[in-house]
Structure 1
Amino acid sequence: MKKLLIAFSLILTVNTLSAQPPQVPADAGATFGKVTTAENAVSMEQYVKLLESRGDGKPLEGKIIGIVKEVCQKEGCWIKVESPNGNLMVKMKDHKFAVPVVLNGKKVVIDGVGTLTTTSVKQLKHYAEDAGKSKEEIAKITEPKKEIVIQAAGILVL
């Protein structure tokens, strides 16, 4: 029984520690996920116009420069970046990497694929919980949201 209790405690500790955003600096030149550069990166405004003008709903791969406005407080598994239509959701592709909370406010290059999508109320509420929003703010989410979501393979801090 003692061995079982020790094993359970160890698993719980490892699980808790792995579900935290990385505690590393986000200085210029830092990369998260796939190593990328700013070469051929476009502004968020240009990227949004390109994706919306396509009208075919197909994903658009590219490098986008933007300012981080919000970071997932629980795991660092998503960020929101300033865009012409409000803050744009950026998810870390396949949860293969996370970003530190200190990324908030930084200028970054996102190397990824964007898609026009509809995010469900359930998912929007989940994001609000991850962001540390109050129960009152979460309760106000009652409609799905049409938005651009980017699956980031890599992020570079400028």
Structure 2
Amino acid sequence: MSFTFLAIAQPPAGDAKPGETYGEKINASDALSFADVVKKVKGGNDFTNVKFTAKVTDVCPKKGCWLKLEVPQGEEVMVKMKDYAFFLPVAAKGKTVAIEGEVFMKTTSVAELKHYAEDAKKSQAEIDAIKEPQKEVRVTAKGIVIVD
């Protein structure tokens, strides 16, 4: 007799309450403004280790393996977890977080952009409309703490 178990990937459970940490343990003290960090990165300065605060606008509904952050100019910035080592609950959407990690410019391929659109459950028309790579600010997080 043989049994097959199917594990369905899903984001971690939880309410993403203030003080909860994901990945490396960090705190929000001495965190920079994310708008200032983005401005410097767009000006050619990458950060290999920086701590900043920002509002979460979206979380991967499949696993919590990526999130998007609000930038005051109406943009969003994609965050991935370092070494795919931790995930964030979808309850973090709309919350302010402090993130420590790397911030840099990246050209994201059409295939990767379509993958994220599929994860975010975008319509097929929206996915098909992705035709060109996109140069964007990216974050690789090593630790995240919920601020409020």
TMscore range, shorter length: over 0.9
Partner of 1:45: 35
TM-align CA RMSD:
1.3
Please state if 1:79 is matched with 2:67: yes
Partner of 2:85: 96
- Write out per-residue CA displacement over residues 2-37 of structure 1, whole angstroms, 9 at most, x where no aligned residue: 23xx1xx12x2xx32xx1100111011111111101
Question: Which letter does structure 2 place at the counterpart of 1:134?
Answer: S
TM-score by length of 1: 0.87
- Write out per-residue CA displacement over residues 53-98 of structure 1, whole angstroms, 9 at most, x where no aligned residue: 3x26x44420111000011011100000001361000001111000
Picking from 21, 25, 36, the partner of 2:11 is: 21
Question: Which letter does structure 1 place at the counterpart of 2:41?
Answer: L
For structure 2, the residue ranges without an aligned partner over 5 or more in a row are none
Give % identity.
43
Partner of 1:106: 95
Greater helix content: 1
Post-superposition offset of 1:43:
1.0
Q: Distance in 2 between matches of 1:125 and 1:59?
A: 27
Q: Distance in 1 between matches of 2:90 and 2:32?
A: 24
Q: Distance in 1 between matches of 2:95 and 2:51?
A: 16
Picking from 121, 124, 132, the partner of 1:143 is: 132
TM-score by length of 2: 0.93
Question: How many residues end up aligned between the 2 structures?
Answer: 146
